[in-house]
Amino acid sequence: MDELWAVVVDYGGHADDSLLDALIDAGAARVVVVDNALAVASSRTEPRGQGVVEFRSYGANLGFGGAVNRVLARRGARWLLIANPDIEIAPSALRTLLATGERWSRAGIVAPRLEDHAGQPQASVRAFPSLALAALHGALGVVWPSNPASRRYRREVPDPPNAYLAPWVSGALMLARWEALSAIGGFDASYFLYLEDVDLAWRLTRAGWEVVVDPTVRVRHVGGATTRSRRVVAALWHARSLVRYGLAQEDTATGAALVLFGVLARWAVVVVASRRSSADG
């Protein structure tokens, strides 16, 4: 069994050679690029450095979690790096994440500090949202981004100087222990897009695994490469995922109504804004 594989979930060929080279240089024996945009199943493998890069399509859009699960089912390594195509990572950063994971024997996920294109920290480490917080953020976040609920939701857990336990981390880049992900069945593929990382961390911690952040590792994340031009559709995906997550946390009529209010209000605002923008154009 290999030490490390990587999976890059792509949509339309955004993963470039610099990312693939960095993953191979860091020690990944195999990098699997899954392109969810292709309607025809295909697979080709090319040698690169000390490893191989595999370009694969399953002939359908499996969503983020569904694509990762296909690779996870192959049980190829001890660790699986999961990445978006819009990530910039140095080989040394990945090797440090691996070393941190080895030190934390119950680490199911090890994550870095994510930064934007300007080097500013992104809110990639957060607490689990309550139902009320999720609903208010969903309803108000589009029309009033600085509302108290959204500010609280986006509040990042302060970084201590060394690796620490966190509630959940962004799925834009995470190093996962293959054993841990397999033990809980991988991602819940019913989260087609958004909140699959929240749900994953929630289920891992319930199963006795840990989510660890190493703030000494800095990784750049451009963000939004596959959804920036699909705002209304992305809002619908977000709404569906939020309903799914909310119902998983509290299976009551009140909880369902609260979540539905927030996400439907958010989606309605996005649709109206999009139509107005199209009319003005």
Confirm if 169 and 111 have CB atoms less than 8 A apart. Answer: yes
Q: Are 18 and 77 contained in the same domain?
A: yes
How large is the average pLDDT for residues 189-216? Answer: 91
Q: Are 101 and 216 contained in the same domain?
A: yes
Q: Are 7 and 22 contained in the same domain?
A: yes
Distance CA 195, CA 263 (A): 13
Instruction: Indicate if the pLDDT at residue 186 is higher than 70.
Output: yes
Predicted local confidence at residue 89, as pLDDT = 95
Mean residue pLDDT across the chain = 85
Lowest mean pLDDT among 35-44, 83-92, 133-142, 164-173: 133-142
Predicted local confidence at residue 206, as pLDDT = 94
Predicted local confidence at residue 226, as pLDDT = 47
Q: pLDDT digit string (tens) for 94-118?
A: 999 999 999 999 999 999 999 998 8
Q: Are 77 and 203 contained in the same domain?
A: yes
Distance CA 176, CA 183 (A): 12
Q: Are 215 and 277 contained in the same domain?
A: no
Predicted local confidence at residue 107, as pLDDT = 98
Angle at 170 between CA 4 and CA 87, to 5 degrees: 60
State in Å, rounded, how far the first CA of the chain is from the last one.
55
Q: pLDDT digit string (tens) for 142-158?
A: 667 778 877 776 666 66
Q: Are 163 and 279 contained in the same domain?
A: no
How large is the average pLDDT for residues 171-197? Answer: 93
Distance CA 26, CA 203 (A): 29
Lowest mean pLDDT among 40-49, 52-61, 100-109, 255-264: 255-264
Give me the domain span that covers residue 257.
130-155+227-281
Q: Are 278 and 193 contained in the same domain?
A: no
Structural domain total, the chain? 2
Q: Are 145 and 276 contained in the same domain?
A: yes
Q: Are 151 and 168 contained in the same domain?
A: no
Highest-pLDDT range among 23-32, 153-162, 215-224: 23-32
How large is the average pLDDT for residues 225-244? Answer: 60
Q: Are 19 and 112 contained in the same domain?
A: yes
Predicted local confidence at residue 87, as pLDDT = 95
Q: pLDDT digit string (tens) for 59-76?
A: 999 999 999 999 999 999
Residues 6+ apart with CB under 8 A from 130: none
Task: Identify the CATH number of the domain in which residue 195 sits.
Answer: 3.90.550.10
CA dihedral 139, 143, 148, 149 (to 10 degrees): 20
DSSP per position, 151-194: HHHHPPPPPPSS-EE-SEE-TTEEEEEHHHHHHTTSS-TT--SS
How large is the average pLDDT for residues 255-276? Answer: 62
Q: Are 135 and 28 contained in the same domain?
A: no
Confidence of residue 281 (pLDDT cuts 50, 70, 90): low
How large is the average pLDDT for residues 10-37? Answer: 96
pTM to 2 decimals? 0.83
How large is the average pLDDT for residues 117-140? Answer: 76
Domain final residue, candidates 221, 245, 271: 221
Q: Are 100 and 192 contained in the same domain?
A: yes
Predicted local confidence at residue 254, as pLDDT = 60
Domain final residue, candidates 221, 243, 273: 221
